[in-house]
A = this chain, B = another copy of it.
């Protein structure tokens, strides 16, 4: 079982750059996905065409950032032994990045907040595994 995040020791460093510096945090992907959800909600509530065009422009960028942050975790943080222990991990990342993308059912091509919610749920699954491996 994963400890809730507020119980992880305060000194835990999280890595994300490819020196690698060793600081990773799924929160980076989650914050962008929350942004997508908020944009979808604002989109649905506002029919002004200029606002809607701007919403689509910005959502495209945020979704790209979700994909990027997830890809970095998948390639840079997770190691062969993790993929052995969590055989579903490859699939999870592939599905999550597809959910952030422009294909059918992806957050780029949908303005329905429920798509962003599915993406957030998938990121939460990844996050759970991430923090388990940090505890190990």
Q: Chain A: residues with CB nearer than 8 A to chain B?
A: 4-6, 13-23, 25, 27-28, 31, 34-35, 37-39, 42, 50-58, 60-62, 64, 67, 71, 74-76, 78, 83, 90-91, 94, 97-98, 101-103, 108-109, 111
Determine how close the nearest CB of chain B comes to the CB of A112; give it in whole angstroms.
11
21 A-B pairs in the complex with CB atoms less than 8 angstroms apart: A15-B35, A17-B35, A17-B62, A18-B64, A18-B103, A20-B101, A21-B38, A21-B39, A23-B31, A23-B35, A23-B38, A25-B27, A25-B31, A50-B111, A53-B53, A54-B108, A58-B60, A75-B94, A75-B97, A76-B101, A90-B90
Q: Would A34 and B23 be within 8 Å (CB), given that A50-B56, A67-B75, A94-B74 are in contact? A: yes
Determine how close the nearest CB of chain B comes to the CB of A34; give it in whole angstroms.
5
B21 contacts A35, C-beta separation under 8 Å: yes
